[in-house]
Structure 1
Amino acid sequence: MSTREKSQGDVGRRDFLKLFGAAGAAASTLPLGGSASADEMVTAATGKPDHQVADAPKSHVGYSGYEFFNVDESAFIEAAVDTLIPSDSTGPGAKELGVAIYIDRQMAGGYGKGDRLYLEGPFSEGKPEQGYQLPMTPSELIRAGVADVGAYVQKSHKSTFDGLSAKDRAAVMAELDGKKVELPTVPTATFFGLLLQLTIEGYFADPMYGGNKDRAAWKMIGFPGADAMYMDKIEPFRNKPYTADPKGIQDLI
């Protein structure tokens, strides 16, 4: 995003993404407050047990039509992720890598439905360190936030969010990030924070979850993928760049 090309000295946006990705590239989204088995993670992310995902053609896994978002919502999400992580000379953007599909699958699955969230209340405004404090599931939060931002953009710009120029989209995202817009249905900071978190996750997640198409983000940061054994590579590549094509979970099944 143009307003965040630099952060903390001379560390640019791509440098930040590389640092973030190196630390968490192999992780997938898990429901707040709990962990999940590999089978649960696959089912939550794709809507199918892992054996069905394994049997499906790899080129089709995670790249079919939207399961949660409607036409207007998917247009917003595609424009939003493209604004948060646009393509540049360093690497591809989030839209190119299918991050919108990743977010859609998360919202359609157990994470989006709040399967591991306590949603019985009482609810009150909490402090940031207290974590998620809303009576809404993540999918309800995202859907309501998309509608709120869409209404704000329609009122202020007489346009849909995806109809704005790249510069105006970046300005709207900067306003949300700076809490300069008060959304009527959801807390602005909570909505923007989750949208940004999901965008970064989808950019670096294993491709089987919908984003990081062709493992392009892993290639950009030099992450070798999900293969758990690299002992035999230590000596041959000592003090040399390890340039092997990264492997995803699907490549190891």
Structure 2
Amino acid sequence: MPDQDQVEQNDQQPVSRRNFLKNTGYALGGLIVGGVVGSLVRTNPQAPAPAPAPGAAPAAQDYNQALMYFTQEQFKIVDAATERIFPKDENGPGASELGVAFFIDHQLAGEWGFNSREYMQPPFYKGEKVQGYQGRLRRREIFDIGLREMQNYSMSKYQKKFEELAPEEQDGVLTAFEKDEVKLTTISPSGFFNMLRSSTLEGVYADPLYGGNKNMAGWQMKNFPGNQMSYANIIDKGFQKIPPVSLREHLTH
């Protein structure tokens, strides 16, 4: 067992075991994403934290805006494609501003991307359209193939990457996939497009806790109240327009 001098000497190191456990204790029970641990443990505990500029408000940090599955190239394609599916207009922000690409990325990194709650054993038969996808590929694999083929089609037709195309050219690529004009042997182009479109709408209107619908702006466009704990205080007052509430707010109270 170390004596008192050794303990004191160890605690004077830039990152001691005691300080590491003390600092990371604040993160126990929560979701650690990206650089959260790095922000809790400084390389030099004696150094003061940098002071904010005079009059400047502390910068808000959204740790949901971090990639969990996509590569940077894949993310750029999805960000551009979802913006064409749900573009910004006079009613409010589009998919890019709402963080929809992050939502899809997070879904693919989890159970949805692995089809973990679905029966995925052979034999596989082509189903009717009303039956949805009937195959061996998981959603993350379908996205990998679909995004790669979108890029290939874009380069072949326009000699530019999808994210570099003009909006009307991007619409042309998406329409070609929607109408099965792109000839693929591995996946159904229209099946991939429909999955991308559905995921886009889910990202626009899902709870912000899951990465999309940033600042609940998707809900605000629909006057949707979100996840209220109770309506008991207004249930007898007729129709009320109330600001939306995210599940995140319930977790912090």
**How much does 1:149 deviate?**
1.4
Q: Which residue of 1 aligns with 2:141?
A: 140
Q: State whether residues 145 and 183 of structure 1, in contact with CA within 8 Å, keep that contact through their aligned partners in structure 2.
A: no
One-letter code aligned to 2:225 = P
- CA distance in 2 between counterparts of 1:222 and 1:173 reads 30
- CA distance in 2 between counterparts of 1:218 and 1:130 reads 30
State yes or no: 1:247 paired with 2:252.
no
Higher normalized contact order (CA 8 Å, seq sep 6+, divided by chain length): 1
State yes or no: 1:203 paired with 2:181.
no
- CA distance in 2 between counterparts of 1:217 and 1:54 reads 26
- CA distance in 2 between counterparts of 1:61 and 1:245 reads 23
Q: Which residue of 1 aligns with 2:31?
A: 53
Q: Secondary structure at the residue paired with 1:145?
A: helix
One-letter code aligned to 1:121 = P
State yes or no: 1:180 paired with 2:181.
yes
Q: State whether residues 97 and 203 of structure 1, in contact with CA within 8 Å, keep that contact through their aligned partners in structure 2.
A: yes
Q: Which residue of 2 aligns with 1:163?
A: 164
The two structures, once aligned, show a CA RMSD in angstroms of: 2.3
Q: State whether residues 100 and 211 of structure 2, in contact with CA within 8 Å, keep that contact through their aligned partners in structure 1.
A: yes
Q: State whether residues 180 and 188 of structure 2, in contact with CA within 8 Å, keep that contact through their aligned partners in structure 1.
A: no
- Bigger Rg, which one: 2
**TM-aligned CA distance change 1:135 to 1:198, over 3 Å:** same
- CA distance in 1 between counterparts of 2:86 and 2:29 reads 32
Structure 1 residues 21-71: Cα deviation after superposition (integer angstroms, max 9, x where no partner): xxxxxxxxxxxxxxxxxxxxxxxxxxxxx941399899434112x111112
One-letter code aligned to 1:144 = I
Q: Unmatched 5+ residue regions in structure 2? A: 1-27, 40-59
> What number of residue pairs does the alignment pair up?
201
- CA distance in 1 between counterparts of 2:155 and 2:32 reads 43
- CA distance in 2 between counterparts of 1:227 and 1:53 reads 22
Q: State whether residues 67 and 104 of structure 1, in contact with CA within 8 Å, keep that contact through their aligned partners in structure 2.
A: yes
Q: State whether residues 53 and 61 of structure 1, in contact with CA within 8 Å, keep that contact through their aligned partners in structure 2.
A: no
Q: Which residue of 2 aligns with 1:216?
A: 217
Structure 1 residues 77-99: Cα deviation after superposition (integer angstroms, max 9, x where no partner): 01111111110001100010100
Q: Which residue of 2 aligns with 1:14?
A: none
TM-score relative to the length of structure 2: 0.74
